[in-house]
């Protein structure tokens, strides 16, 4: 019982590593629509590490945009992609249009990492990527609020998740990102 409680507590604090159980599907099998319009297939990021984050403009965690941009600036030349997925699923905190969201992010946070159109990230209407991620990592890894983060390796496997309060520049996230980037270097080198 004690061990089970510890596992639940650890999951609530930030996630557990996992990869696809049978390897039959990967993140590269999914596609979004870019915030500017047009297809945004995750397969274009094959061989890169991807941090997928559901975002919102009117959330207490919105200040994480600064950290997401800093992570993007620091690691993009090493193979990291930060992908923002605006969602209005939690507290109605992303009510704007795509144009309004894009302008808000550019003006207030100088965001230049890729973003998608507004998507559902929970429930029956969840984007297929989020439904797949929940199936891969379990119910504890589902987004419980805005700024939930998934880390995907160069092969499209989900390798970790981070709860909303986990800052993108935290030691835990930095270690996870750098570990995945080092694996890319090993494969490429």
Closest CA to 90 of 110, 69, 116, 62: 62
For residue 145, the cross-strand partners are: none
Closest CA to 98 of 53, 35, 37: 35
Single out the catalytic residue among 59, 80, 85, 141. Answer: 59
Assess whether 59 carries a catalytic annotation: yes
Q: Which two tokens stand for residue 6?
A: 């510890």
Q: Where are the extended beta strands (E) located within 56-189?
A: 80-86, 149-152, 158-162
Q: Which residues are catalytic?
A: 59
């Amino acid at each position: 019982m004690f061990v089970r409680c510890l596992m639940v507590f650890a999951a609530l604090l930030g996630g557990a590593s996992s990869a696809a159980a049978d390897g039959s599907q990967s993140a590269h099998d999914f596609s979004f629509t870019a915030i500017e319009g047009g297809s945004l297939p995750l397969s274009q990021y094959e061989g890169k590490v991807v941090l997928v984050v559901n975002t919102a403009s009117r959330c207490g965690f919105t200040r994480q945009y600064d950290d997401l941009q800093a992570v993007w600036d620091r690691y993009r030349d090493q193979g990291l992609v930060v992908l923002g997925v605006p969602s209005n699923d939690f507290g109605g905190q992303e009510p704007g249009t795509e144009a309004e969201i894009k302008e808000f992010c550019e003006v207030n946070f100088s965001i230049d990492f890729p973003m998608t159109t507004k998507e559902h990230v929970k429930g029956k209407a969840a984007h297929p990527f989020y439904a797949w991620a929940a199936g891969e990592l379990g119910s504890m890894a589902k987004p419980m609020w805005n700024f939930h983060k998934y880390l995907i390796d160069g092969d499209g496997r989900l390798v970790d998740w981070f709860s909303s309060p986990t800052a993108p520049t935290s030691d835990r996230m930095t270690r996870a990102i750098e570990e995945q980037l080092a694996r890319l270097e090993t494969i490429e080198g």
